[in-house]
Amino acid sequence: MLLEGKRAIVTGASRGIGRGIALDFAREGADVAINHFAAADAAFDHAAAESLAADIRALGRRAIVIEGDVGKDDTADRLIGATVDAFGGLDILASNAGICPFHGFLDMPSSLLRTVIDVNLTGAYLVAQAAARQMVAQGRGGAIVATSSISALVGGAMQTHYTPTKAGVHSLMQSVAIALGRHGIRCNSVMPGAIATDINRDDWSDPQKRAYLDSRIPLGRFGTPEDVARVVSFLASERAPMSPGRRCWSTAGFS
């Protein structure tokens, strides 16, 4: 029970890596606020979030569902306010919300570029800032773990709008680790490689593509949301301590 008694927010939690993180937090003893954004299929996303909340409650933990686009200015404060109202405080933020609508570079619409930046980078910034303010006010420290991506380091022809945002998330955690270390708040990023989620279903569900991609991965398989979640739970726990000089670990990544 690495996180027994902790109160957490997971953004982008209705499916994929976010769902895996939220469930692992609950298994480790945390109450979880589930954030999701209902866009193309509102009914599906809301049902998925409510199903996750039911699974968390079945584990004996509390759960709430908060719909909202993290790229909007008012969402972060609303997330933190609802979590504090429900659980009495906030100890952990898993900033996971992100989108990657694949598109070529030469004909990239500026509107799509701005949308991806707003969700992936601006959203991560605003939620981390609001969560940190709450943690500082409580005076008991806390943990912020953001989901970056191995794409931040290797790039992608159809991801020229996405990879800079994930590099930015990685850099953001390095900077806020320094800014918040004095308050006892640990800040890290994780950099997943190929993880089997909805965002890349076309790759891992096609047998030929899957065989090719598996052959390029050292372990010979796609990762799972649970693989990432276990790392995030560790980094959110007291087993990932600050050094005696009160400097935070800046990042933690894997591929």
Of 97, 73, 75, nearest to 18 by C-alpha is 97
Name which residue leads in pLDDT, 231 or 222.
Answer: 231
Which of 14, 149, 151, 233 does the annotation list as catalytic? Answer: 149
Average pLDDT estimate for 69-93: 97
Catalytic residue check, 171: no
Report the pLDDT value the prediction gives residue 236, as an integer from 0 to 100: 98
Which of 14, 151, 162, 250 does the annotation list as catalytic? Answer: 162
CA–chain centroid gap for 85, Å, is 22
Tens-digit pLDDT profile for residues 118-146: 999 999 999 999 999 999 999 999 999 99
Tens-digit pLDDT profile for residues 48-75: 999 999 999 999 999 999 999 999 999 9
pTM of the model: 0.90
Q: Would you list the domain boundaries of the chain? A: 7-197+225-236
Spatial separation of the C-alpha atoms in residues 84 and 79, rounded to whole Å: 9
Report the pLDDT value the prediction gives residue 250, as an integer from 0 to 100: 36
Report the pLDDT value the prediction gives residue 242, as an integer from 0 to 100: 63
- Per-residue confidence band for 252, with pLDDT thresholds at 50, 70 and 90: very low
Report the pLDDT value the prediction gives residue 41, as an integer from 0 to 100: 60
Catalytic residue check, 212: no
Query: Of the CATH numbers 3.40.50.720, 3.40.190.170, 3.40.50.150, 3.40.50.12280, which one belongs to the domain with range 7-197+225-236?
Result: 3.40.50.720
Spatial separation of the C-alpha atoms in residues 124 and 118, rounded to whole Å: 9
Name which residue leads in pLDDT, 194 or 204.
Answer: 194
Mean pLDDT of all residues in the chain? 90
Which of 166, 189, 233, 237 does the annotation list as catalytic? Answer: 166
Name which residue leads in pLDDT, 245 or 217.
Answer: 217
Tens-digit pLDDT profile for residues 22-48: 999 999 999 999 999 976 566 667 899
- Per-residue confidence band for 6, with pLDDT thresholds at 50, 70 and 90: very high
